[in-house]
A and B are shown apart, each in its own frame.
Chain A
């Protein structure tokens, strides 16, 4: 069990100042939280109702999966393929959770609540902190600010979508792919990542005219095991 730091006064000598952690966390939370507006508009434009759009942000709360789901449903994709794509994308959150569990050592009772906030941004902020208390604080502040703003702006976006008329006239059909590109850019750290991205794009564009909507993305996921198999030693593939 972790030592319980919440009641202990802050020791400014040994840990990162709380204000610095809060500032970092709010910067990320506010910037990304506001992009919920683009999701709200995109989701409404894809034909989802206001309630469906808001439930997605409240309960799914992982942007890439949400954009992927409404994108696939919007072009008339098979719902099962659309869901599979969204879930595949969400799997990375399990691995953030693994690292965060070691880093933050949350009490058992808090875990089911904290789990909902495990996404790219909260994980990035928490993992960037030098100590457990800062990691917990960074995670909580990023999670709270992002969750509140993401849901608020989702609601406003979906509500305003009707007033905006055709979202594509405002260029809002570029918001989804721009979100994907920004997330992708932060992950392109090594040669394998770049190879996987290039192969996935090639597979996706080759499959798009041939396969039902939603399926090309799933085929593209094969780029990961293909590149791993081609660039790693055989014993690692077990």
Chain B
């Protein structure tokens, strides 16, 4: 039940946020500071999520096969690989390293 509530609140919130941007007068949110914050908060959160889901195991920090997969994904990104290839490389390398070491 809690999960359904979380799903519903996220769905409603994410939709309203999308609609808000499309509906409000441009001047209201369109201020330099607000714009910069809007650009930088996702950067912070995506960086944090990448780190946590790569090195986190419960509340412990570990370096395992995921780190190798993400390193490979970073190389793919530097080589300007398409989005799907980047994700596939991360998955394949993680699986390969896990199979070889586990």
Contacts and interface: CB of A to CB of B under 8 A. Distances in A.
A201 B17 contact: no
Interface in A56-105: 56, 59-62, 64-65, 67-69, 71, 73, 75, 79, 82-83, 85-98, 100-102
Contacts of A92: 38-39, 41-42
A53 to B, nearest CB: 9
Nearest to B77: A185
Contacts of A82: 6
Nearest to B90: A178
Contact of B66 (A47, A173, A192, A222): A173
Given A60-B10, A87-B14, A181-B74, A101 B53 contact: no
Interface stretch (A8-16, A17-25, A114-122): A114-122
Contacts of B30: 98
A215 to B, nearest CB: 11
Contacts of A187: 39, 42-43, 46
Contacts, number: 296
A236 B15 CA distance: 30
A31 interface: yes
Given A94-B17, A116-B18, A180 B46 contact: yes
Contacts of B42: 64, 89, 91-92, 183, 187
A144 B85 CA distance: 22
A171 B22 contact: no
Interface residues of B, number: 72
Nearest to B68: A174
At the interface, is chain A mostly helix, strand, loop or mixed? helix
- Which interface residue of A48, A59, A184 has the most chain B CB atoms within 10 A? A184
Given A199-B44, A200-B44, A200-B48, A56 B84 contact: no
B44 A197 contact: yes
Contact of B90 (A88, A116, A175): A175
A220 B44 contact: yes
B59 A213 contact: yes
Interface of B: 2-7, 9-11, 13-15, 17-24, 26, 29-30, 32-33, 35-56, 58-61, 65-66, 69-70, 73-74, 77, 82-84, 86-87, 89-96, 98
Interface of A: 31-32, 34-35, 38, 47-49, 52, 55-56, 59-62, 64-65, 67-69, 71, 73, 75, 79, 82-83, 85-98, 100-102, 106, 111-112, 114-116, 118, 168-185, 187-188, 192-193, 196-201, 203-205, 208-209, 213, 216-217, 220-225, 227-228, 232, 236-238
29 contacts: A52-B3, A59-B7, A64-B45, A68-B49, A75-B58, A87-B17, A89-B45, A89-B46, A91-B42, A92-B41, A96-B21, A97-B23, A111-B19, A115-B15, A170-B95, A173-B53, A174-B90, A177-B90, A180-B53, A184-B43, A193-B43, A197-B43, A197-B46, A200-B43, A200-B44, A208-B56, A217-B52, A220-B47, A224-B40
Question: Closest 8 A-B residue pairs measured CB to CB?
Answer: A97-B21, A171-B95, A171-B94, A220-B48, A178-B90, A94-B21, A59-B11, A204-B48
